[in-house]
Amino acid sequence: MKLFSMILSFPLLLSCLNCAAQAQLPEWGKADLKELQLQKCDFDTDAPAMVIFDSEEISFRLDGYNLKTYTERRVRIKIFSEKGFEYANVTVPYLGRRRETRIKDISGITYNLDSLGNIVTSKIEKKQIFRGQLDENVRKLSFTFPNVKPGSVIEYRYTKVETNSMDLNPWIIQDRIPVKNSFYYIVIPDYLDVNYRIRASLPLDKKDTTIKLRFNAGTEQRLMFRAQNVLAFAREPFMSSVKDNIQRVEFSLFPALSLFSNLSDRFKWSRLSDYMYRSQSFGKQFKIAIKGTDTLINNIARFKEKDEKISYLFNYLRKEVKWNGSRSFYAGDLQECWDKKAGNSADLNLLFLNLLKKSGIEAHPILVSTRDNGKPDKEFVSLGQFNGVNVWIPDSNYSYVLDLTQKHTSHLVPPMNILFREAFSIDSLGGRWIYIYDHRTLLKTMISVRAVFNDSTEKITGQAAVFLYDYAREEALKSRDEEEDEEEKEERARKLVELTTYNYSEENEYDVTKPLLEKFDFDYIVGRTNEFYYFNPMFLSSLRENPFTANTRQTDIDLGCNQQFLVQVNLAIPEGFVFDHIPAGILLRNSDTSIAFKRQAMAEGNNMTIKITLDYNYPHFSSEEYGSVKEFYKKLFALLNEQIVFRRKKQG
């Protein structure tokens, strides 16, 4: 965020501290024999690798009116087994937009013991360090350590220099592997204010001191954190995001002696809104003239109803202007976005906002944090919480929340990735927080099956129709466009080994007002024990494995939205066969009726119909509620896995 150079107006000050002495880290390039001889992590004995230490040192310098932020990072890792080799592949992402961030002074060393017990080092050569692009705004630096084997110790270091950035990355305490020691140091000159919030339950050592500088009358604050014996972060099914749940400390940065000093959080947000509203890469974009859009604006004017205008423009732009995959709340050149018909999420949504305003529709940009980016917190003033901008159109009948990166849902459906989240609306009056919610059932899947059992092949053959509504439609079409990796393909094949599909067809792909309809024929191999045949009517459902079997849970359960799954199966068996067991009708609800399962079944002769409905009427459960959720799911999956059983009629 380029806020500093705009409002800072006093002489050059320098502040830099060599924190390495404070960190008491070993000298670079000096291996520790005890670390090389270490056989396992003492607080997580099954870990394939362990971070011995991870140190970050943050300092600031003024270069004229430019603020430079220096981050010195040093990491040392112990490899215990071959499963830990993946941690010898390192990628460092960084913002590369307009070359405002650069990575320098990169070094890496592998330490091993030879057959005589001598320490052998292998350095990473410059030619082994690769730079690349993750997306339009984010670049990456990557390298792989040489000569890694079980027992190796690896370490790397680099310096990141950011220009005019008022966003400080959080101190992430946890990793995918256990961390023995984690250090974070930040030296704050008196021309900056840094606030922080601790989002961690584990014990932290903290030291906060202010000293007077000898070379001028200024002061600087030295803030130090340390964590020890940190367990690896474990993902849990249906957790909201890693960022919401990982142990961390977050920071916000403002110039001191400025409009932001000594203000309440409410007024700080108001000032940030004013700044964003006047920013060239944000608020100025609302009013700029975009050549070549006159015909489109005239076409919009033909519609009388507000909803018709919104729908027409929304569908036109998301068809004609392509998203490049990069999510941001800063736009580039909207004229270039229009001419090239492509851009990042801010380009697309601010172009949409610009044209809405030119069509006489009141609309506002809202800063959002998508689900994988974590929940924003209005009690903590920092633009670094957000990773995108959407469009909010308030209306007495319906408040629209729109995002052109959502390609396959109606304009009347808010983006799922920000549902039940706070968002910050930017306007000329100081902005305001709004809550994005929708209690409709917006993820709905309906499966209809007509099938017969062929006793000669011992397969069930039939036709299936799958109706995917709203978010289910969006996810199906989006995942179809994304390439599966080999592991995903193997897992899908493993789960569907009994099923063969053919004659696939699709309807309503381009009509967002209707459900996506998938039709196909299938062969399904039924189970058999002696004379009994077994068939699970949920064979096409995604509800195949219980996600809540762990004894304990650390994170909340986030299902995203209210949901419904409906399965109806009509099964015919040939003459000479009889149904031996048909799952009974039942209604199962949890204590607050937020989840309800209903099953109806009926049979007449050699034909039967079973209908199963599962409703989620509330999408969020706290970790404290996990015990009751687990117990409900145990009962639920016992019912979902109940089989239809049939056999040949007994002779005589």
CATH number at residue 307: 3.10.620.30
Between CA 18 and CA 29 the distance in angstroms is 18
| Mean pLDDT confidence for 267-283 | 87
Q: What is the pLDDT of residue 81?
A: 97
Interval 11-32: pLDDT, tens: 333 333 344 334 578 999 999 9
Largest CA distance in the chain: 107
Interval 135-170: pLDDT, tens: 666 788 899 999 999 999 999 999 999 988 877 889
Q: What is the pLDDT of residue 491?
A: 52
Shared domain check, 43 and 120: yes
Between CA 636 and CA 447 the distance in angstroms is 19
97 contacts: CB under 8 Å, gap ≥ 6: 136, 137, 330
Q: Are 404 and 353 in contact (CB under 8 A)?
A: no
pTM, full prediction? 0.84
Between CA 250 and CA 15 the distance in angstroms is 22
Between CA 23 and CA 56 the distance in angstroms is 10
- Report the SS3 class of residue 642: coil
The CATH number that applies at residue 582 is: 2.60.120.1130
The tally of domains found in the chain comes to: 3
Nearest to 450 by CA among 439, 461, 466: 461
Between CA 501 and CA 520 the distance in angstroms is 6
Length, in residues, of the chain: 652
**Nearest 10 degrees: Cα torsion 94, 178, 183, 172:** 40
Nearest to 325 by CA among 135, 157, 480, 493: 135
> With pLDDT > 70 as the criterion, what percentage of the chain qualifies?
91
Q: Which two tokens stand for residue 287?
A: 């009013």
Which range is least confidently modeled, 62-71, 96-105, 418-427?
96-105
Between CA 179 and CA 248 the distance in angstroms is 13
Q: Are 352 and 411 in contact (CB under 8 A)?
A: no
DSSP string, 148-204: --TT-EEEEEEEEEEES------EE---SS-EEEEEEEEEEETTEEEEEEEE--S--
Shared domain check, 392 and 278: yes
Residue 164 lies in a domain: yes
Element (H, E) at 365: strand 364-368
Shared domain check, 347 and 482: no
Between CA 444 and CA 86 the distance in angstroms is 38
Shared domain check, 460 and 423: no
| Mean pLDDT confidence for 587-611 | 95
Residue 122 lies in a domain: yes
The CATH number that applies at residue 26 is: 2.60.40.3140
Residue 521 lies in a domain: yes
Q: Which two tokens stand for residue 272?
A: 């940030």
Among 195, 226, 255, the domain boundary falls at 255
Shared domain check, 228 and 84: yes
Between CA 71 and CA 60 the distance in angstroms is 9
Shared domain check, 277 and 248: no
Q: Quick one: pLDDT band at residue 496, thresholds 50, 70, 90? A: low
Shared domain check, 377 and 351: yes
Residue 130 lies in a domain: yes
Q: What is the pLDDT of residue 14?
A: 33
DSSP 407: -
Shared domain check, 102 and 14: yes
Residue 599 lies in a domain: yes
User: Which residue did the predictor score with more confidence, 337 or 264?
Assistant: 337
The b-or-e profile of 240-252 (16+ CB within 10 A means b, else e) is bbbbbbbbbbbbb
Shared domain check, 352 and 244: no
Between CA 107 and CA 100 the distance in angstroms is 22
353 contacts: CB under 8 Å, gap ≥ 6: 285, 286, 363, 364, 365, 391
Shared domain check, 475 and 421: no
pLDDT at 604 over 70: yes
Q: Which two tokens stand for residue 100?
A: 């405002």
| Mean pLDDT confidence for 366-386 | 91
134 contacts: CB under 8 Å, gap ≥ 6: 93, 140
| Residue 516 structural domain | 441-648
Owner of token pair 């408040």? 399
Q: What is the pLDDT of residue 265?
A: 82
Among 412, 436, 460, the domain boundary falls at 436
pLDDT at 110 over 90: yes
Residue 230 lies in a domain: yes
Between CA 601 and CA 508 the distance in angstroms is 31
Nearest to 404 by CA among 467, 341, 357, 358: 341
Q: Which two tokens stand for residue 73?
A: 């990072």
| Mean pLDDT confidence for 595-620 | 96
Residue 260 lies in a domain: no
Nearest to 53 by CA among 84, 25, 19: 25
Which range is least confidently modeled, 133-142, 330-339, 348-357, 591-600?
133-142
User: Which residue did the predictor score with more confidence, 11 or 301?
Assistant: 301
Cβ burial, residue 391 (10 Å; 0-12/13-18/19+): buried
Between CA 295 and CA 445 the distance in angstroms is 40
319 contacts: CB under 8 Å, gap ≥ 6: none
Shared domain check, 603 and 575: yes
The Cβ of residue 306 has, within 10 Å, a number of other Cβ atoms equal to 17
Residue 158 lies in a domain: yes
Distance between alpha carbon 535 and the CA centroid of its chain, in Å?
A: 37
Cβ burial, residue 333 (10 Å; 0-12/13-18/19+): middle
**Nearest 10 degrees: Cα torsion 508, 509, 510, 511:** 30
> With pLDDT > 90 as the criterion, what percentage of the chain qualifies?
73
Q: What is the pLDDT of residue 218?
A: 80
Among 402, 436, 470, the domain boundary falls at 436
Q: What is the pLDDT of residue 98?
A: 53
pLDDT at 481 over 80: no
Interval 258-267: pLDDT, tens: 555 567 888 8
Nearest to 516 by CA among 582, 447, 424: 447
One-letter amino acid at 380 equals F
CA distances from 238 to 101, 173, 213, 325, 558 (A): 34, 22, 50, 24, 5
Shared domain check, 549 and 467: yes
